[in-house]
Structure 1
């Protein structure tokens, strides 16, 4: 059953991209429980095997039905284009207990018997305590599952936003939306997503948040009832290579021309990335990476673009030809 988002004229001017570390944390927790999502993440699952062992995620999992409503307050639309996890989890902790109880009750009703289980009853009996415990569980999950890998994840998500922002400028919103995922269609001001669930909403001037996600694959997620801003979460580009180790050996001809560090940086930029992400990926000091990126940019092999607080580097056509031998 599809869901439909109906745009008015004002909504077309109020669409924005965002990245959310809280959302990725919530979806990483969901991915642990769902083998169907493991296809792109076996390396990550091996890396977090030990750190995830001590997590108590039972309450969070109980509120994640296989289909249907999940509590909006646990993963609300991002506060801004580059909100930190600390800012986002503070908003979860500030949730109104009465509203949170209603949200949790809706989610528990999606799974037969969940509301009547001992844990379900405890969540609903003391929603203020439930909000605290759920926020604590998500914060622990962030530190164990996502934070150690955030530079890599953030680089991929920023690269997706950079790419689709350019496409938005080139083709417009109506043409861009179907490009985000093959299950999305656009016709006469209505975005239709052919995915599980049934949801319909008139945006009424709020616009739409477009949010790439690493761990939401293969799902396309939409919803958020008022007062939340409508949001569409789609699988980020490039997740197939997310956990792949960088090539240990740059082409020797390229090494002889550029030097080993600059050659490694150029070949690592198959997708745009930040200085921090590249330093993390290659095991180099950020200051050294910054100096080498500047040299490559000055030589016409890279360009840099600022998106919010991030500066992304990407290869020029000349840089791409050198890196790939094309």
Structure 2
């Protein structure tokens, strides 16, 4: 599954970025460049799905793809998928549950949700058997505090909660691939049951720990989607989903401060002076805001005629390389203006804001 994701990213980026950009995407690097690439090349589902991925493992997998003639690399480490790679990828995309991944949407909430659910199950099943001491599956203080508070409030209803969670979780697991459902259960820890480690799961299912992680991540994303669609129909599971969306917005604190000043009517130079930052930094913030905020208009920074010319250069040549776009558009526009137009080039629903 990991190799299929690598090949899919390589095929979509098509020599316009180095393989390092794919690594940054998979580990969830929170930079405007990574966000831009994920949206331009339509690979947002893979954002942050391998947060603990080791760089050496990643590079070894790229080398393996080259050795097997699925990929070629140029001098700048830009990758190109071969015909053999395309055939391999097509088969894998059909066999692996890749479509379940929704990385950029669930980036921050999925980890918190999953830890809450795991620790809750461990806590409630042990307490129901009067076993007050056990080694928590996570040392995450915020998660521990949340579960302790939940138990304190619902202690007298613990049997109802256990039954309710079991029923709702079972209904979800019955609706998905049986192997993924079993993998999900194998990972859980409860009374007199220790969840299997990633290495143990890899041995059981005869695959790699990285693929096991991806299978689990995809299942958790699928569960979050399930809860979002049915939160008014379910009583218990949505509790773990609520309030996990804290800080889910990608925008950085610094860009948010710049946005606050933009709303007050200050221009780029004024904001740079007020914040004692370089103009280029403020421009970076504006590009970041344009990606994040659907109602943000780029009109104050690039007029409609310029937008049309730049969009034509982007779309007619199917490129996201700034230097190439600048040359194709007659070298009449700044990189800042081109980057702003790029934020809209892939989003038809935002085109109205360009007028």
Pairwise same-fold verdict (TM > 0.5):
no
Give the TM-score range, shorter chain.
under 0.3
The alignment's TM-score, normalised by the length of structure 1, stands at 0.25
> Relative to total residues, which structure has the larger helix share, 1 or 2?
2
The alignment's TM-score, normalised by the length of structure 2, stands at 0.24
Find the structure with the greater CA-based Rg. Answer: 2
